[in-house]
Structure 1
């Protein structure tokens, strides 16, 4: 028990941290998709940022760019381990989504 218990505790901590990271990654991807959808429908950038923050939380960083009829939204967040063996460790998670603007929002000369 004295040999196995620390290994079991370490494995549980790793599983919890990985689970938190996966949950954050999924919310970042959902936030990027939601914001890209808003922009594709013709909404203002502030609405898209508010959508991303509503989905992923207030600490998310949102970057928006456009290239002709396409809009791209990148979301990112830094995760930090607060305590335990990994105290002070950081992970940068990011996601991006691309969407084509609605046809009535595209200039006639663009493909």
Structure 2
């Protein structure tokens, strides 16, 4: 088991980040902490995509005139992660802007207090 974790440490980090992010989104009543949990979860997904795309002894997928073979690394997961990073930053910016507006309007970021205010 220890040898498996030593060789697959990225997957263990993925699980740790994912569980921490989900816990922060569910257990915290503060909206800013929920956004931080969402960012941790997104980072876990990015790590999973990159770790699953790793190829042992893989080379750049550019074929030279002198030939050469072997396993090639697919650039698609890297491109997907770059796109997801841009979307994640945009989502975080919009969420924090909404949180600033909510705090300015209601004076709190606690989810339970906001529910009470919206029910009245």
- TM-score band, normalised by shorter chain: 0.3 to 0.5
User: 1 or 2, which has the higher helix percentage?
Assistant: 2
User: 1 or 2, which has the higher strand percentage?
Assistant: 1
| Bigger-Rg structure (1/2) | 2
Instruction: Give the TM-score of the pair, scaled to structure 1.
Output: 0.36
